[in-house]
Amino acid sequence: MAIQPIVTFPVASLKSKARPVTEFNDELRQLAADMIETMHAAPGVGLAAPQIGVPLRVVVIAGRVTLSDEQRAALAEEQSDAGASAASEETLAPSLVLINPEIVEAEGQQVDEEGCLSVLEYATNVKRFARVRVKAQDLDGQPLDFAAEDFFARVIQHELDHLDGTLFIDRISPLKRSLYRKKLKKIIQAEES
């Protein structure tokens, strides 16, 4: 496994639509393993393949996101006993790997703050569906079909947007987007000097 560099806005490849996965092999397994390691190292709760420069429809979501509040609390306690690390989290709550995922049903709405590993130093409220039903494949090409609510649903929608070349800042007002671009310009100038 290897931590990969994360592509950040305004790199043009983030605006491209990812290709479907057609081969389920060791190369795909290695990509998923690298994505999981990269996500934990960032740290983040989800990562789409385009965020590491791979234009394939692959998403990973931290296992803790899929748990109930009670299960998350138990996981946090177990992690503190095990010396909280990404490896212990992955052992206790394995990440969810979705290949060629799509939302087939959605309902309700929620508004909450989002940030993104590919959008530097910015978070804002974004409107999303409250509940979604997802169809995807696992690493062996077997079908998956499940429902997600609340934060889990938000993470799925955010990551699936990446597969279609959409960033969360594309879902906010033009004024907020403009303010972020100005902030980003200052960040980039500060890094260059």
Residue 85: per-residue pLDDT? 62
Structure tokens at 144: 């998956």
Global pTM value: 0.90
**For residue 35, what is the enclosing H or E element?**
helix 26-41
Peptide bond into 43 cis (omega under 30): yes
Domain assignment present for residue 132? The answer is yes
* CATH number of residue 147's parent domain: 3.90.45.10
For the four alpha carbons of 50, 69, 132 and 144, in that order, the dihedral sign comes to positive
- pLDDT of amino acid 188: 82
Which pLDDT value is given to residue 71? 78
SS3 49: helix
CA separation for the pair 51, 100 (Å, rounded): 16
pLDDT of residue 22: 97
Domain of 55 in residue numbering reads as: 12-192
Beta strands in the chain (DSSP E): 46-48, 58-61, 96-107, 110-116, 119-128, 131-137, 143-149
How many independent structural domains does the chain possess? 1
Is 97 part of any domain? Answer: yes
Active site residues: 159
What pLDDT, on the 0 to 100 scale, is given for residue 82?
Answer: 63
pLDDT of residue 84: 59
Which residue ranges in the chain fall short of pLDDT 50? none
Amino acid type, 119:
V
